[in-house]
Amino acid sequence: HQPRHTADYDAVVVGAGFAGLYQLYRLREQGLSVRVFEAGGGVGGTWFWNRYPGARCDVESVDYQYSFSEELRSEWRWSERYPRQEELLRYLDHVADRFGLRPHIQLGTRVERAVFDEESGHWTVGTDRGDLVRARYCVMATGCLSVPWMPDLPGLEDFAGEWHHTGAWPAENVDFTGKRVAVVGTGSSGIQVTPVVAEQADELFVFQRTASFSVPAFNLPAGEEDAAETSAEFHRRREFARHSVFGLSVPVNKQSALAVSADERRREYEARWRMGGLPMYGAFADLLIDRAANDTAAEFLRGKIREKVQDPDVAERLLPRGYPLGGKRICVDTGYFEAFNRSNVHLVDIKDTPIDAITPRGPLVDGVEYPVDVIVFATGFDAMTGALSQIEIRGRHGAALSEKWAAGPASYLGLAVAGFPNLFLVTGPGSPAVFGNVVVSIEHAVDWISDAVAHLRRRNLALMEATADAEDAWVRHVNEVAGFTLLGDVDSWYTGANVPGKPRVILGYAGGAGEYRRRCDETARQGYTGFALSPEPPRRIP
């Protein structure tokens, strides 16, 4: 590719999902020239690509929206308690129009490299469309769950039917009517797609390696009278989430699960169950810290599966075991376990006997072939670092981020990386975004980055760079905190264990959303401690 043109901007933002759109808005507000590059054919990021049947957010719509504009909030009406993918995408499209963001966004363009030029102090960003642009600031709003992970299955290329990954679902409708279908993977995506496909398909085979903990959503149409729709209630919930442990708007019980009687425990779990979804995390204070406490909640949820699934053998196989509740993000389902009561739905255990290959007819497991017309891979994502590792990012002395991160990602506060001045990560590894409501984390990160940029400009500072010491200390702290929880040891995308060869380290900050916010804001208040701010202006762009 010959570069198509060269242009200069104050900032380049990579990605136009929840994070990129808001980052663009905040930088434009400061009067900066900004170019956003987005690989998708539309804005929306995760909510653009995950358009599989049944795709829905596991956080309630009232909480899963921006808070920066009261007008936006009051104009927009959510139709359901838990928003569907289509509705979230409509919302983000509306945001792009409402705030005049589109002229600054170049769609269908994948950033391939971002290189820091030490002479001029600028980033040079190159795309697969031949763009080559320079900018003072480069913000990676590339998403935590944006790179689908596909297992390497021999024979897939010769499969005669069609196959799709939930995280890169085609725009056109996939019709399952009258078909034999395989779903591979039983995390959040597999659990959402299964009941929908079950209703359409002739036969559905669900290939399960690890059974999941799931709490029903109890989804409902949003009522006009919803208290959560009022401004005061919305802000109360948001403020609570910002400073809470889980980053969610639900109250957390301060008691230990082991400090109360079995009856009281059961009452609390029942109450949480009836709230639906993620509030289960807050049933007791020590669920993610103490395995014995965790076991009580895990057993409660296993009991619910036994109640729901009619065939005791199938129920037994659907019981999550061998890892703590919350070690993988709790799933929020609508009729997942009930789907196994249908005569056309079959559970295929692949824990001890993995899928050996895909024959032209379908998955082959332990010598048995499962002929199908469609395979749905709900096999997850190369989370947190996947999107960054697909871009050639070079900082000082031409050093590559991928090399620096070969043994696991290192960042300061999940926002910046030593050796990569003026590069900012929105909810990067080392931030707590993935443990709660990512929108709340995104707003915080974008506000923090935007304030940092404003600080630099006000003081005529050229560069901002995390110091190696601050970064080391943060990485140590992230690991130390994970060590106090049950999250660090589980095979999941939280630890990179779902992608073979990926370094196994905790990718998120488990110290709590509120504590994280306090630390970030304290850093900023003290003039950006842990960052080197360099005053000498770099040579002007010629």
Which residues contact ligand NA7 (rule: CB under 6 A)?
58, 145, 151, 166, 184-190, 207, 209-210, 328-329, 350, 354-355, 378-381, 493, 498
Of residues 83 and 185, the one with the C-beta less far from ligand NA7:
185
CB of 242 to ligand NA7, least distance (A): 19
CB of 246 to ligand NA7, least distance (A): 13
CB of 310 to ligand NA7, least distance (A): 23
Minimal CB distance residue for ligand NA7 = 187
Q: Tokens standing for 484?
A: 């106090």
CB 179 within 8 A of CB 78: no
Q: At what angle do helices 513-525 and 438-458 cross, to 10 degrees?
A: 0
Who contacts 323 (Cβ-Cβ below 8 Å, separation ≥6)? 210, 490, 491, 492
Amino acid residing at 139: V
Who contacts 233 (Cβ-Cβ below 8 Å, separation ≥6)? 227
CB of 17 to ligand NA7, least distance (A): 13
Of residues 135 and 298, the one with the C-beta less far from ligand NA7:
298
Counting Cα atoms < 13 Å in the Cβ hemisphere of 237 gives: 22
Of residues 320 and 511, the one with the C-beta less far from ligand NA7:
320
CB 257 within 8 A of CB 266: no
Of residues 56 and 122, the one with the C-beta less far from ligand NA7:
56
Q: Tokens standing for 360?
A: 């032209």
Of residues 147 and 297, the one with the C-beta less far from ligand NA7:
147
CB of 378 to ligand NA7, least distance (A): 5
Comparing C-alpha atoms, which of 191, 225, 222, 228 is closest to residue 206? 191
Of residues 89 and 125, the one with the C-beta less far from ligand NA7:
89
CB 446 within 8 A of CB 23: yes
Chain centroid to CA 508: how far? 11
- Max Cα separation, the chain? 73
The DSSP call for residue 412 is B
CB of 247 to ligand NA7, least distance (A): 12
CB of 46 to ligand NA7, least distance (A): 8
Chain centroid to CA 44: how far? 13
Of residues 121 and 428, the one with the C-beta less far from ligand NA7:
428
Who contacts 390 (Cβ-Cβ below 8 Å, separation ≥6)? 147
